[in-house]
């Protein structure tokens, strides 16, 4: 009997286990690079966004009508929300393409996990004497690697925007406040309190470095935790009763997916906006 026949016999004779893992399962390899099920899902979403954007661009009219009216209303409403964070329309318009890209990608990725076949169509692999079910696609944000990557992009972008807005020196002093140390001899004659205040400023600036790492962790696990929990919840409800019971929870996940996309985007916007302000 061949090795393949033995493998098929083992799969048929053992129970198939479907576990929700915090990491994405590999589907195939390109060289040494693992292509995972969440990565496939993310590529499809990016492709959909690119194609849709090109179609919208080709059909734009100087006088909006129909669907274009709806999209312009959505964009204007979002810009008003952005204004409440940035404090000025010019900054909101400058940051809008980047933040809206975040929002749209996360939103569609969250919702794609609810589509029929996502997470339920896949293959069975034999590992460590067990038969494991591996879906061909799963929600991208249910993979902690994906949310971690988005968090890093958002925080790094805030530093780039901060440097472009207020300069390298001013941005650097937010985290290692050399200006506060240099200014002590100049201000000491006028105000002795500077001997206490400025060292405190230096310590506070160092704490900001820790805060930047905390931003990455917070963004990563807030988004991942909510989407992964929703994925597990729907699987549990489907296990109890496949027909009917999961439907209310699916509607809830639609709302949670939109809310989490909005919260993530607004947090990144706030980081970008704060980075563009000089430290006083």
pLDDT of amino acid 213: 92
pLDDT of amino acid 24: 78
pLDDT of amino acid 50: 92
Those residues of the chain that have pLDDT short of 50 are 1-13
Nearest Cα to Cα of residue 171 among 272, 280, 278 = 278
Tokens (6 digits) for 87: 């404090």
Nearest Cα to Cα of residue 122 among 224, 22, 238, 17 = 17
Locus of tokens 């296990």: 239
Nearest Cα to Cα of residue 106 among 45, 43, 36 = 45
CA distance 234 to 248: 10
Locus of tokens 């988004």: 223
Tokens (6 digits) for 204: 């506070």
Question: What are the residue boundaries of the structural domains of the chain, listed by start?
Answer: 3-275
**Full-model pTM:** 0.82
**For the chain, the helix, strand and coil percentages under 3-state DSSP, each to the nearest 5:** 70, 10, 20
pLDDT of amino acid 19: 67
Nearest Cα to Cα of residue 223 among 74, 117, 105 = 105
Locus of tokens 């129970």: 15
CA distance 119 to 20: 9
Locus of tokens 């906006």: 273
DSSP symbol at 279: P
pLDDT of amino acid 8: 47
């Amino acid at each position: 009997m061949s090795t393949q026949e033995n493998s098929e016999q083992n799969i048929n004779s053992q129970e198939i286990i479907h576990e929700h893992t915090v990491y994405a399962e590999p589907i195939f390899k390109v060289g040494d690079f693992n292509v995972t099920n969440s990565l496939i899902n993310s590529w499809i979403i990016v492709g959909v966004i690119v194609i849709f954007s090109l179609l919208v661009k080709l059909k734009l009219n100087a006088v909006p009508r129909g669907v274009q009216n709806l999209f312009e209303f959505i964009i204007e409403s979002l810009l008003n929300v952005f204004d409440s964070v940035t404090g000025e329309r010019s900054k909101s318009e400058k940051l809008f393409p980047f933040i809206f890209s975040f929002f749209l990608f996360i939103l569609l990725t969250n919702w794609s996990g609810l589509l029929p076949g996502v997470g339920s169509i896949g293959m069975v692999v034999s590992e460590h004497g067990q038969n494991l079910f591996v879906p061909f696609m799963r929600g991208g944000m249910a993979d902690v690697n994906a949310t971690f990557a988005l968090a890093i992009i958002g925080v790094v972008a805030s530093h780039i925007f901060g440097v472009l807005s207020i300069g390298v020196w001013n941005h650097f002093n937010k985290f290692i406040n050399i200006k506060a140390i240099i200014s002590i001899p100049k201000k000491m004659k006028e105000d002795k309190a500077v001997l206490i205040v400025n060292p405190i400023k230096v310590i506070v600036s160092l704490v900001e470095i820790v805060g930047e790492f905390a931003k990455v962790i917070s963004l990563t696990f807030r988004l991942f935790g909510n989407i992964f929990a929703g994925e597990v919840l729907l699987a549990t409800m489907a296990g109890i009763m496949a027909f009917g019971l999961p439907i209310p929870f699916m509607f809830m996940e639609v709302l949670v997916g939109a809310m989490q996309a909005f919260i993530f985007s607004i947090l990144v916007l706030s980081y970008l906006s704060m980075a563009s302000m000089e430290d006083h």
